Amino acid sequence: MNLPLDWLLEGEPWVAYRTGLDLLDQPESAPQVTAARQVMLASAPIRALLAELAEWPGGVVSNHKNAGLLLHKLAFAADLGIKVRDILLGPIIERVLEHQAPQGPFQVLVNVPVHFGGNGQDQWAWMLCDSPLVVYALAKFGLEEDSRVQAAAAFMARLVRDNGWPCAVAPELGRFRGPGRKEDPCPFANLTMLQALSQFPEWRDSAASRTGAETLLSLWSQSRERHSYLFYMGDDFRKLKAPLVWYDLLHVLDVLSHFPWLRGDARLLDMAAVLRSKAGDQGRFTPESIWTAWKDWEFGQRQRPSRWLTLLAWRALRRLELA
């Protein structure tokens, strides 16, 4: 199975841009990389994405699985490679930085119903299923050394327990927590925390990151018996979809592939083998499930291979030295 480089480079400018950086190891200064980036930033889809993000925080977060949340679009923009130096991003970052809790995490606008332990009011608050994604995006944008971003990452990292990160929320959210046992780890919180910490050299090889990674890999090896907080690793988990929004095979592989010390872990290799088995004859990957909020993007369909999905899959395999 060969990596379909020519096909990827013929695709959308953001695919060509990331292919040059992530699969060909070209520097940002390479002429073809620079050209692809310029076309990307000028393209209608990216300008529309940034226009949406300029309305941060957008709607109230009541369901973190809503793929249309600006929270997830912020992380997607970071994945594309948009940076703080890009003129349209600056005002967006300022809006995000305006709301930081005294403890450190960045806040989003949430509404937790009374019957779930909240007050039923719109309020700025944080949870370990949203603030880590904000930190991840800010770090990817180029603010990984900003003291505010560093403080947020450090506070949340210290919330780890012996079995990983729990369902932790801001004090003002009262008794709210997800649908699981208090002593269990939250799989999605562990995924988002590892995603955030992967962007900081000082945290990438930390005890906290190692604990979180072990939590996710243990859940994979016991996927038929353990379903913490109702997160399953069954058939739906194994379906390929983009962008990386929720708790699924490609998202977990993408995050764990950032940690070099996991290479060779039998459980991670098993996950990677499931991913490889889904490639077509030409090394292209086709979405098996879609987010309707992203139906206008080329990965928002299931009829043909997606270049962005293919890039994500090969990038994870390459980080694991399997491609």
In SS3 terms, 267-305 reads as: HHHHHHHHHHCCCCCCCCCCCCCCCHHHCCCCCCCCCCC
DSSP 24: S
- Overall size of the chain counted in residues: 323
The whole-number pLDDT of residue 22 equals 98
Looking at residue 177, its pLDDT comes to 83
Strand 122-125 to 108-111 pairing: antiparallel
* Phi and psi angles of residue 72, each rounded to the nearest 5 degrees, phi first: -75, -30
Distance in angstroms (rounded) separating the CA atoms of residues 26 and 194: 26
- Is residue 151 within 8 A of residue 104, CB to CB? The reply is yes
pLDDT of residue 62: 87
Residues 241 and 291: beta-carbon distance below 8 Å: yes
pLDDT at 200: 98
User: Token pair of 180, please?
Assistant: 């699981």
Written as tens digits, the pLDDT of the chain (323 aa) is 799 999 999 999 999 999 999 999 999 999 999 999 999 999 999 999 999 999 999 989 989 999 999 999 999 999 999 999 998 999 999 999 999 999 999 999 998 877 777 788 899 999 999 999 999 999 999 999 999 999 999 999 999 999 999 999 999 998 888 888 999 999 999 999 999 999 999 999 999 999 999 999 999 999 988 899 999 999 999 999 999 999 999 999 999 999 999 999 999 999 999 999 999 999 999 999 999 999 999 999 999 999 999 999 999 999 999 98
Enter the tokens of residue 71.
């929270």
Per-residue pLDDT, 209:
98
Q: What pLDDT score does 233 carry?
A: 96
Residue 80, strand partner residues = none
What gap in Å lies between CA 185 and CA 215, rounded to an integer?
8
Q: What is the pTM of this model?
A: 0.97
Distance linking the first and last C-alpha atoms of the chain: 9
At residue 116, the pLDDT reads 73
Task: Supply the DSSP string of 104-159, one letter for each residue.
Answer: SPBPEEEE--GGGTS-SSEEEE-BTTTHHHHHHHHIIIIITT-HHHHHHHHHHHTT
pLDDT for res 107: 98
Please give the pLDDT value at position 40. Answer: 98
Residue 176 has a pLDDT of: 87
Rg from Cα positions in the chain = 19
